[in-house]
Structure formats: structure tokens, C-alpha cells
Structure 1
Amino acid sequence: MESNPTSPGRGAIELAGIVKSYDGQSRAVDGVNLKIPDGAYCCILGPSGCGKSTILRMIAGHEDPTDGEVLIGGENVVGLPPVKRRTAMMFQSYALFPHLSVRDNIAYALRVRGMGKKERYERAQAMIEKVQLGTFAERLPGQLSGGQQQRVALARAAITEPRVLLLDEPLSALDEHLRIQMRTELASMQKDLGITFVHVTHTQLEAIALADLVVVMEKGRIKQAGPAREVYISPRDRYVAEFMGGQNVIAGRVEAVNGVRATVAPRDRDPIEVAIDGKTRIEPGSSIDIAIRRDDIELIRPDKRLDSPGRAAVSSRITAIEYQGNFVKVMLDTSEDVAFIAFVPERRFFQDPMHVGDVVYASWDIEHAHLMAQ
């Protein structure tokens, strides 16, 4: 028997050619195509103004696209209000009612839908226990911490049993310690509820810590979408590599290709070798970007450098050093627009400390470099 596309659990989302224009010319969202599987935790990531929150509002039903379709559970929901879409949205401000208790805030949506007091309080209590607020049920929002208020907002959104829960920068107002704690709780709740979460953020670590599917956006378009680890270690282009962080990018021109390796000449530097991955098409004379993870960089003093056929290296000078606890962030000068950075394990760095102004070789395993077409 064919399943009902509006039944709970059918939270697969498809955005088909979505466009959003406010003035008929410039596009806040420009032809986005995206499929989010039912039950996935999807993070849409990008800088301010890239269109990520606009996409969230169009999925929610708070805005309609100028063109294209929004499908939830296989059903085109454009024009339907949020209650008909079975979506719920948790806002950055939480938007709790200051005069209502935790229990009444959580139960409010059920009250609006006409559910009797006994039943809605039973369901609210079950949700209160799920978000570990059992001893705070009678308190007002002003008597709660920021993290507790967030749990109330999350419970209030989830109590309506939506197919899709939408979260707009839900952790941005929290301090770092609480943000890390709430990441764990969000992931746990998403698994418990078993529904699709779509979470908008501008924080890279937040996205890769939480998401099954990471979507990186720029100027209204998707630059790359995929599993968190894939997007982080195999960025498609320079924008994704630099925005996700953790990668150095070197631009160069291909001088030679021998089938398994290419010789690339960076601007103002000696040629380096890079392994060919079979995915990026390269040929002599073409321009190429090479991404190298910052934690793959080893810093070697000039008098200790040993040429190795399996490693590449560039000469540089240390411009800044930042102690980060478990590693030391070492910034190096480069002809590129952004600094070349090495993450050196803390113990290794202090065995032979380096200083600003030191000349060093930044070395890495050739097989660990990632090719990206320009």
C-alpha cells in the first residue's frame, strides 16, 4: 500500500530550482537544487547574506519562492501554511512567552490547536522530561539560564510532532562551553525524535559536529553539499576550502603530468609535486588550486631539511604564533592573499620552539594534498 506523503516521518525535503527575488532583479536565492533525506540532520552553512535563512523560511512556509518548488514528503508545499506542511521552526531569539511557565510555553501550540488541558499537559510533561527540565516546569523563562531557555524553545517546537524541525542559528547566543554542550543535546534529540532537522549556521565547527549533510552556500547558490567529512577534507573549490577552514590553498600552473603526479609551479615559488586523484581534470598549462590541511603541515628548519620523493615543501617565514592549547597555530608568509597556516601539536612545538621571523620549510605528504580546479 502506498504510504501517505503527509504522515509523520515523511520528512524528505527537495528544493527544485528555488529562486527568491525581492526586487525582481537581485536574487537572495538563485536556482538552488537540494535533496535532504528523511530523518537527516542537515546544516546549511555560509556567511551573512548568502541566502541560508531565506531557504529556511521558504521550507517553513514563512515565505514563498519567486520560482521553483519546495517538496516535503514528495508533496509540493508552496503556498501551504506551516501547520499544513507539518514544519516547526525554532528561532534564534527563542521567542518564549515571559509570563507563561515552562510547561505552558511548551504546551502553547497544542492549546492553540484546541487540545484539552489534561492531554496537552501530559504531552508537555513528557517533552519536559525528554529535555531534562523536570524540576523547572513551573518556572518562568526569566528564571532560566540561556541553555535552559533553548531547551524550552526546542521542546515547544518538537511537541507538535513536525515532519521537519527548522533551526535558525540556535546556538549563536550561547557561550562557548554551553554551545558545545547544546550541540550534543541537539544531536541526541534529533536521533530520539527521528525527524528531519534543518539547521542554519555560520559556524563551521558547529556544522561538521552535528550534520549528516553539510550545505555550503555563497551569494544565494550552493557551492558544495555532502557528508561533513567529505566537505571538510575534499572541498570542491577554493571558496569551500577557505570557508570551511583547516585548509591552506596554493594556486599554481601545471608544468607537467606523468600519469600519477603533476608538477605545479606556484606563483613566486619553486615547483612542487602533487598526486593526481583522478577526479580533477588537469593538463599542462592549466591553472590549479591545491588544498593542504593545516594539521598535515610539518615545519622543518632549513638545516634539517631532507629531500624526500614523497613530500613537498615550500620555504617561508613565521609571521605569528598563537598558542591554542592542544596545538600551536603558526602563521607563515606567502604570496597568496591569505596566510599559510600550520597546526603543530603542542608537545612537538615546545620540544624545539620556533619564533616569529624564523625561516622554515612547510612540508607535507604529497598524497595528502587535494587538487581543485580553478
Structure 2
Amino acid sequence: MAQAPQAGDIELAGVCKRYGGPFDGQLAVDGVNLKIPDGAYCCILGPSGCGKTTLLRLIAGHEDPSDGEILIGGGNVVGLPPPQRRTAMMFQSYALFPHLTVRQNIGFALRVRRLPASRVAELTGAMMDKVRIAELADRLPAQLSGGQQQRVALARAAITEPRVLLLDEPLSALDEQLRIRMREELRRMQRELGITFVHVTHTQLEAIALADLVVVMESGRIKQSGPAREIYAAPTDRYVAEFVGGQNVIPCRVEHVNGAHAMLHGGGGVGIELPLPQRRRLVAGERVDVAVRRDDLQLRRPDGALPAAGRAALHTRIRAVEYQGYFVKVMLDAQAGEELVAYVPEREFFTDPFTVGDPVVATWASERSLLLA
């Protein structure tokens, strides 16, 4: 028996958004189907122009789709304004009223709804306590730091008790340390409020750190959606592997197929033996892409020895080295036009450090290779 929709469930069914004429217009969102469970933290991830902010505005009710349905709590909300959808949006610029205090900014929507002044004061005070800004109540926005302004904007959006809170690039204006602190704050707030958050970002690490559900978009379409670890560790195609990061993509040719395994050959002399995936048929001579996580690559100096059984080996050179603190990012000469990167633990790297131009052999367990669609 199907479970009844919850208040914050979101479902997009065949949603399209076209700007301009019906035949020559620009298709910003193209046939999106997506389900976001009630109480989830969803991050929509993609480069500029991929349609992620348009999708957010469609859910919010700031725009209507050209085609398709948008359901919140099981009801179609297309055509309804944001208050009737019970959505609230936190804008990238925060859009605080500069002449109003923190207390007045947060309580503004309640005053518009003509709640009694005592009730506005009660709810505003409770919300300021929840986001830990009670001591800032009488300051103006210009007297606040970027992180404090963000808390005020979050409190102002949440005080109307929306079913869905929508966040448009909320961390983009903050420095790196503050971004990390505010990620923790957003996650804490989402858990305490218990409502659905839909957060648009172009920053891969931000999406992976925050989200229960990551949605990767390209050119108005969803390329892959799923839990953060699945998106990072098991991308389904080349675009997701390269955009989300952490993966090397190696173009290969199928040498032969033997029972449940296939032998692949890539640039740099690499040979990879892979178990055949279910529902995927490979034939000799076929061109395929294989993903290998950067932290799965191990680098050794060439000594003429053959790779150990079950390990792939690629002969290359060091192109660049970047110290990243707890690991060292080692860029390798491209193979067949592809950039290769290894993440080497810091202590391991400095035991016998490589320099630019050194010949190396990059090895990894063949079973850690991922065949892309």
C-alpha cells in the first residue's frame, strides 16, 4: 500500500520551462522528474546556466512551468502563489531591509499577515533564540557580518513555518572558514525545523557535505540523483564523474570478453580487467569510459616489475604537485587527452617525494574501476 504524501513531499512530473516562443524559445528546464521526501535536505548541483535556479523558482511559485506538474504534500501547486504553497525562499543576496532592525526584519512577514503585536514579538523572539542571534535583535543589517546576515535571512524565511524552504546559493558570498561553519548551521537548522530544504549550489563539496539527496543537472536535465556518497563514488556517466570530481575518467577499448569479465586497454599501456556489470553487454572493439577515484591511485617509481595480479598500471610523468594539507594533489601527464590526478596522503608523499617531470607508474586495484554509461 502506497504511503500517503507528507506535508513537505515534493514531486516534479515532466516539468519544462521555456522562455520565448513555443518553437524557437530557450528550454531552461527540460522534462524534469524528481521526488524529494518530506524533511530531506536536497541540493541541486550544476554549473551556471544548467537550470537549477529556474527549477528552484518553479518550486517556489515565482514562475510557472510551461509543461508538467509540481506537487507539494500531494497537491498540484502550479498556479498557486508562494504563501498558498507554504514555501519560503532565502535569496543569495539575503534581501534584508536595510532600515529595519534584526527583530523587525524577522517579524516582517508576520506583521504583513496582521498577527497581534504580542504574538509577533513572541514568535520573533523564539526564532532569534533558535538561530542564536537574540543579542543582535536591535542592530541594523549594515552592522552585521556576512554570517550574521545569513542567519537573519534564514530566520525571516523560516518564521512563516513553510513546508519547504528554498535556498538560492546561500553560501556563495562567504569566505571559506565561514562557509564551513554555516554549512553546519544550515544542517542543524534543517534538523531542528524538520522541514524540507532545497538548496541550489554550483559547489560540489557543499552539496556532498550537506545533502541527503544530491541532484546533478546539465542543460536543463537531471543527469543523476541520489545520496551524496552514491553521487561521489558511483557516478553513472562521464559528465557526473567529471563535474562532481574525485574521479579520473580513462577512455578505453574492449580487448576481449571472457565469461563474466572484460579486458580493457587504455592509453599509457594500461590494462584493466573488469567484472561485467549486470544488464550491460560489451563487445570486442567497443569504446568505453572507465572512472577511477583519485584516492585509489597509488604512485610508485618505475622499476620494470609487472603490476601485481588484479592491479592496473599506467606509465606516466608528474606534471604538477599541489600541497593540500592532509593530502598532496599530484597531476599526471594526460593520457589520450585526459587529465589524471592522484590524491596521495601527505605523510606517504613526503616519505619519498616526487618532483615535476619524474616518471611514475600509477597503479590501482582493477576492481575499483567503474564502467561508465
Mean Cα deviation higher: 253-262 or 263-272? 263-272
| Alpha-carbon distance in structure 2 between the residues aligned to 1:149 and 1:295 | 38
- 1:270 deviation in Å? 4.2
Please tell me whether residue 22 in structure 1 is matched to residue 57 in structure 2: no
Name the counterpart of 1:210: 210
Unaligned regions of 5+ residues in structure 2, if any?
Answer: none
Please tell me whether residue 239 in structure 1 is matched to residue 239 in structure 2: yes
| Alpha-carbon distance in structure 1 between the residues aligned to 2:195 and 2:336 | 44
| Alpha-carbon distance in structure 2 between the residues aligned to 1:259 and 1:231 | 29
Report 1:37-56 matches (<5 A).
Answer: 37-56=37-56
Name the counterpart of 2:303: 303
Whether the aligned pair in 1 keeps the contact of 2:38 and 2:195 (CA below 8 Å) is yes
Name the counterpart of 2:164: 164
Name the counterpart of 1:12: 9
AA matched with 1:238: R
Structure 2 CA distance for partners of 1:209 and 1:225, relative to 1, 3 Å? same
Runs of 4+ in structure 1 over 4 Å off: none
Name the counterpart of 1:71: 71
- 1:261 deviation in Å? 2.7
- 1:280 deviation in Å? 4.0
Whether the aligned pair in 1 keeps the contact of 2:250 and 2:338 (CA below 8 Å) is no
Report 1:1-374 matches (<5 A).
Answer: 10-24=7-21, 25-267=25-267, 269-278=269-278, 280-303=280-303, 305-373=305-373
Unaligned regions of 5+ residues in structure 1, if any?
Answer: none
| Alpha-carbon distance in structure 2 between the residues aligned to 1:337 and 1:192 | 48
| Alpha-carbon distance in structure 2 between the residues aligned to 1:245 and 1:233 | 10
| Alpha-carbon distance in structure 2 between the residues aligned to 1:226 and 1:322 | 31
CA deviations on 1:7-60 (whole Å, 9 max, x unpaired) are xx6010011111111013320111111011111100000000000000000000
SS, match of residue 152 in structure 1: helix
| Alpha-carbon distance in structure 2 between the residues aligned to 1:305 and 1:239 | 35
CA deviations on 1:151-178 (whole Å, 9 max, x unpaired) are 0000000000000000000000000000
- 1:183 deviation in Å? 0.4
- 1:308 deviation in Å? 1.0
- 1:107 deviation in Å? 0.4
AA matched with 2:173: A
SS, match of residue 334 in structure 1: strand
- 1:258 deviation in Å? 2.1
Percent identity, please.
67
Q: TM-score, normalised by structure 2?
A: 0.96
| Alpha-carbon distance in structure 1 between the residues aligned to 2:257 and 2:368 | 18
SS, match of residue 264 in structure 2: strand
SS, match of residue 192 in structure 2: helix
AA matched with 2:300: I
| Alpha-carbon distance in structure 2 between the residues aligned to 1:73 and 1:82 | 14
